[in-house]
A and B are shown apart, each in its own frame.
Chain A
Amino acid sequence: MKKILIIEDDLLISSLVQFRLKKDGYETHLVCDGNEGILAIDALNPDLIITDVMMPFRSGIEIIHHAKQSQPNTPIIVLSSLGEEEQVVLEAFNMGVADFIPKPFNPNELAIRVKRILK
């Protein structure tokens, strides 16, 4: 079973994503802020990371940076309410994230992308 780590400060959103991905048979883990996110990446060694870019304590950029260093092969999906032209998002792309999904989003669409990436 593939492990997916979801880092997102809005508990409702992350629960929805978790619910949807569980239905597809993934093992999912939720954390709510950047600090926990970094700890969880090291502890869980996930197969995929879904993260927001604007979060308390650590920015998404720091998380991506950390993940790319400790587990360079783990794909990352960025979920954000910022537009694609924003500086932070461009930066994230440059760091080699697998996909970018802007909010508002459809959890079903997210599930399809996850499936594609993990194939």
Chain B
Amino acid sequence: MIRIFCWTIVGLLLFLPGWIQAQEDFIPEDSVEFRDFLILQKEVTGLGYRFFIPEAQLPDSLHVDSLFQFSQTVSGFESRYFVDFTKAKELENTLINKGVSYRLDYIVLSEVVSTSAAQEYLVDLVRDADYPIKRGELKPTEDFVSLASQTPYSPTKQFKLKFLSDYRLFVVTVMIIFFFLVASIMIVSMLSMKAGKNKRENLQKEYGKRIIAPLTSLLFEKELHEIQEMELEEIHSFFPKNLLARPMYQHVLIDNIIGLNKKMKGDFKEKLKALYKKLGLDKISIKTLHHKKWDRATMALVQINEMDLVEALPEVKKFTNSTNFHVRSMAVATLLNLSEKVDLIFLRDQTYPLSLWQQMNYLRIIRFVGSQKGLKLEILFDSKNQSIRIFGIKLVRILGRVDLIEKLAGIAGGVSEEEKEEILETYAALGAYMETAFINDCLKSSNRALSLAAAKAAAVVGDSGSADILVDLIGAETVFRKKHSYLKSLYGVDKDKFAEVTLNNANPEMLELRNHILDPMLQNV
């Protein structure tokens, strides 16, 4: 790329002077040559010739000659105006023969000029490409290139003017219009968005201020049952009816009540929830559930969740398999949180893969509500969705459901390798000593990841059988990192065998690994 660029620059520098020279070099400066040149041209636009005889008397033969058409002036006689130089040249011979003294004048745009001025005029003409020069026959002896360089090549100019300016004009105009159009659309939309936002915010601030007084007095001066029993008219004395009908006011009320609910403790929470329903805000939340913008729908789910709107649960259930990640996460979270008895079937039937983020959120809720609601985690093992089955196994581990080990053992044989890894980790965490047969089977697996996971489990719950398999694996393993893992497990299962393997071995690697595993500072690395 650079090279092309450099050559282009060099090329341009070479071209420029030659090209300027080519414009002027071909008008002969010598007067004789100039005449020859003019003969060749015959007619040149704007250039004419005239004979002048500076004498008082003119031979009659000339006076009447219709070719000359002499007329008398103050200082002598002027011939007619010739356009063609060859004609003038022919008549000049007549004058020479008659022995009359004369002068040949060049006339440019009806003014008599000097020879050099006539030459300049021609140069200008040629430069502006107003006049194509005629030339004599090419002499083969002359250098072809130097001749060529004298050619002004006017067709280029014409081609350039027509084609170049046209398409550039077109493209650049299109571009400018496009640019300004898009730019102004963007600026205008930005400005209008900002203005709209400001207006909304101001209104929100205004409403926000207006609801403080009624909310505080209601919360402090009314008991819970009083709020529940309030008549519509009484409510309208706190929150004016006309304002309550405005969506923006409702929105501000919802936001503030929910915000307050998060920051309050005790009976205030109950009062806020009662008020939420009294004001009819629950209906708005449930209606927004079907909003086509996902963020609005998710917001509605958050409101339902925060305000314990149990009656909305059948509606919420419809969203557990929504195409939008946030909507379905929030729907599941709400269901887990609010359902009286949580039936995990809706989670089992979810078709989308469960992300770690969702698992984390669900785990928090399940941890919180799990004990009261008697969750049947084993339902998740039947899911057609692998990520859900894995989540089920994880839950057994994290919630410490030792009672489900038997169920796990029942499915362990027929599941995918990833699930097996998860089950192994669970066995280790829950101390499932009775499942060593499965662990030992996995240890022998040709799948490296599974075998390593089994080794980790064996370190905690392995038996002598595991130790024997590990010794074999260590002997056969060539990848250092894996050998390390197996050795570490062996150390966990059987310290004597570990000493035997690492000390009675010629391989210096073994000693290195032994030191590493025994180093107290590297325990958790």
Q: Which residue of A lies closest to B215 (CB)?
A: A12
Interface string of A9-20 (1 = CB under 8 A from B): 011110110011
Q: How large is the interface on A (under 10, 10 to 19, 20 to 34, 35 or more residues)?
A: 10 to 19
Over the window 208-238 of chain B, the binary record of Cβ atoms lying under 8 Å from chain A Cβ atoms (1 yes, 0 no) is 1100110111011000000000000000000
Q: Is the CB of B266 within 8 A of A108?
A: yes
Residues on B with beta carbons closer than 8 Å to the beta carbon of A104: 262-265
What is the minimal beta-carbon distance from B357 to any residue of chain A, in angstroms? 22
Interface size on B, as a range, is: 10 to 19
Is B352's beta carbon under 8 Å from chain A? Answer: no
**B209–A11 contact, CB under 8 A?**
yes
Q: Are B220 and A23 in contact (CB under 8 A)?
A: yes
Are A106 and B265 neighbours in the complex by a CB distance under 8 Å?
A: yes
Is the CB of B82 closer than 8 A to any CB of chain A?
no
Chain A residues whose C-beta falls within 8 Å of the C-beta of B266 in the assembled complex: 106, 108-109
Interface contact A20-B220, CB-CB below 8 Å: yes
Q: Which of A10, A15, A105 contacts B265 (CB 8 A)?
A: A105
Task: Please tell me if A81 contacts chain B, counting CB pairs below 8 Å.
Answer: yes
Taken residue by residue from 171 to 213, chain B's Cβ proximity to chain A (1 for < 8 Å, 0 otherwise) reads as 0000000000000000000000000000000000000110011
B41 to chain A minimum Cβ distance, whole angstroms, is 88
Known: A12-B256, A12-B259, A20-B220. A105 touches B212 (CB 8 A): no
B268 at the interface (CB under 8 A from A): yes
Chain B residues near A81 (CB-CB < 8 A) = 263
Chain B proximity of A60: nearest CB distance (Å): 16
Residue in A15, A16, A81 whose Cβ sees the most chain B Cβ within 10 Å: A16
Q: Which among A12, A16, A20 has the greatest number of chain B C-beta atoms within 10 A?
A: A12
Closest to B216 in A: A19
Q: Are A19 and B263 in contact (CB under 8 A)?
A: no
Bound Cα distance A81, B212 (Å): 21
Given A10-B259, A12-B256, answer yes or no on A106-B216 (Cβ-Cβ < 8 Å).
no
The 3 A-B residue pairs whose C-beta atoms are closest, nearest first, are A106-B265, A106-B266, A19-B216
Q: Name 27 interchain pairs, CB-CB below 8 A, sorted by A.
A: A10-B259, A10-B263, A11-B208, A11-B209, A11-B212, A12-B208, A12-B259, A13-B263, A15-B212, A16-B260, A19-B220, A20-B220, A23-B220, A103-B262, A103-B263, A104-B262, A104-B263, A104-B264, A105-B263, A105-B265, A106-B264, A106-B266, A107-B220, A107-B264, A107-B268, A108-B266, A109-B266
A interface list, Cβ under 8 A from B: 10-13, 15-16, 19-20, 23, 81, 103-109
